[in-house]
A = this chain, B = another copy of it.
Amino acid sequence: MARTTGSHSDITGPRVRTAALKLFAQHGFAAVSMRQIAREVGVQAGALYNYTPDKQTLLFDLMNTHMCDLLDARRKNVVPDSPIARLENFTRFHIRFHSQRPEEVFIAYMELRNLAPENFEIIGKLRREYEDELEAILQQGQELGDFAVPDTKIATLAVIAMLTGVNTWFQEGGRLSLDEVEQVYADMVRKAVTA
């Protein structure tokens, strides 16, 4: 818990981020004070400013790290050739990745409006980069005649909204395993876009 004094830079830094992540996800950015974060970490409020210039930057760093992690993981993913296989691969990747970090995902979707304009633009760009991954798959399938999608942009947003919705109810150890959930969604998504 709380210590009186000392030097703990390498430990405290990650702890500040973890505490902020948890509290922002739980109560929302605007409802969480720097004092609450400090209490969770076990330091005084002033000490937080050794790790972030301000509260806004702390929020941005959490969201930015999350989006970069997402794009990195996607790039490391081995992608199959056929559109149908690529679509299932994307579906499973999205559900698995997002279900593993519910707090980051929740913040990334709920706190966009609390970003300063310049930060909002950066996060928006990263998000569009991710959406383009799916849209490229739908376009390929459309060209090859495997898919029947009148508007790839709308279909992209529809599929991502559906997949991200998993996070609102999925619990590890619940009625369905993660793999079963992936299967159910992979089937629905494939059927929704195939010819």
Binding site for B on A (CB under 8 A): 26-28, 30-31, 110, 113-114, 150-151, 154-155, 157-162, 164-166, 168-169, 176, 181, 184-185, 187-189, 191-194
Apart from A151-B176, A155-B188, what are 13 other A-B pairs with CB-CB below 8 Å?
Answer: A28-B28, A28-B30, A28-B113, A28-B114, A30-B30, A31-B114, A154-B184, A155-B184, A157-B165, A158-B188, A161-B164, A191-B192, A191-B193
- Are B168's CB and A154's CB within 8 A? no
> Would you list the 6 A-B pairs with minimal beta carbon distance, nearest first?
A161-B165, A30-B31, A30-B30, A192-B192, A162-B162, A188-B192
* B-chain residues with CB within 8 Å of residue A158 when the two chains form the complex: 162, 165-166, 185, 188
- Are A157's CB and B168's CB within 8 A? yes
A117 → B minimal CB distance (Å): 14
A35 → B minimal CB distance (Å): 15
- CA gap between A151 and B164 in the complex, in Å: 18
- Are A193's CB and B188's CB within 8 A? yes
* B-chain residues with CB within 8 Å of residue A169 when the two chains form the complex: 157
A158 → B minimal CB distance (Å): 5
Known: A165-B157, A165-B158, A165-B161. A184 touches B30 (CB 8 A): no
A124 → B minimal CB distance (Å): 12
* B-chain residues with CB within 8 Å of residue A194 when the two chains form the complex: 191
- Are A150's CB and B192's CB within 8 A? no
26 pairs across A/B with beta carbons < 8 Å? A26-B113, A27-B113, A28-B30, A28-B114, A30-B31, A31-B114, A110-B110, A150-B187, A151-B176, A151-B184, A154-B176, A154-B181, A154-B184, A155-B184, A157-B165, A157-B168, A158-B162, A159-B162, A160-B165, A161-B161, A161-B164, A161-B165, A162-B162, A188-B192, A191-B194, A192-B192
